[in-house]
């Protein structure tokens, strides 16, 4: 899939997994070690991702994480990268490919949100209200069809 994108577009796309991390982990104002570990694990296991585009991105992100983090280091800039990518993704992917990719990113966000302790004594809902809101905003702003989650990732 990488061949469908220019070098500049691919550089922007490589930031998407990091942007999802910033968006979700930073939503409640505190990024903890468990969230960082969940992100690192997700990227480190990128070769196992079901979605082809997300898989290729995760593999490249793993090899370039330092330069990606230096390029964009705050949530506001991360959102700018995310907005810029939507247009060319819609133009270069079929609707099915687009839905599968965004669903895969969403699932990564859920993993990050679930990683932090949450709840009383680790019991109960591990996802904070702010993280749930961030995930809902992601899904809505990317036009994620909820059926794609069950269709592609059961």
Q: What is the pLDDT of residues 45-67, one digit of tens each?
A: 888 999 999 999 999 998 888 77
23 against 150, higher pLDDT: 23
Distance CA 47, CA 55 (A): 6
The DSSP secondary structure of 4-56, one letter per residue, reads GS-HHHHHHHHTHHHHHHHHHHTTTS---HHHHHHHHHHHHTGGG-SSHHHHH
Mean pLDDT computed over every residue of the chain: 84
Does residue 74 carry a pLDDT above 90? Answer: no
Structural fold of domain 7-152 = TerB-like (1.10.3680)
Q: What is the pLDDT of residues 113-151, one digit of tens each?
A: 999 765 554 555 678 889 999 999 989 989 998 887 777
Domain ranges of the chain: 7-152
What percent of the chain is predicted at pLDDT more than 70? 84
- Give me 146's structure tokens: 């909820």
Q: What is the pTM (predicted TM-score) of this model?
A: 0.85
What pLDDT was estimated at residue 5?
96
């Amino acid at each position: 899939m990488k061949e469908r994108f220019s070098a500049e577009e691919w550089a922007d796309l490589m930031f998407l997994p990091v942007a999802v991390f910033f968006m979700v982990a930073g939503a409640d104002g505190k990024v903890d070690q468990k969230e960082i570990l969940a992100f690192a694990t997700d990227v480190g296991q990128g070769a196992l991702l079901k979605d082809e585009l997300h898989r290729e991105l995760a593999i490249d992100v793993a090899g370039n994480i330092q330069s990606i983090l230096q390029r964009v280091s705050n949530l506001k800039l991360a959102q700018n990268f995310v907005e810029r990518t939507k247009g060319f993704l819609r133009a270069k992917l079929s609707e099915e490919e687009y839905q599968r990719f965004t669903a895969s990113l969403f699932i990564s966000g859920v993993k990050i949100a679930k990683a932090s302790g949450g709840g009383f004594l680790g019991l109960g809902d591990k996802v904070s209200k702010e993280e749930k809101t961030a995930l809902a905003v992601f899904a809505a702003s990317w036009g994620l069809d909820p059926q794609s989650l069950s269709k592609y990732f059961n």
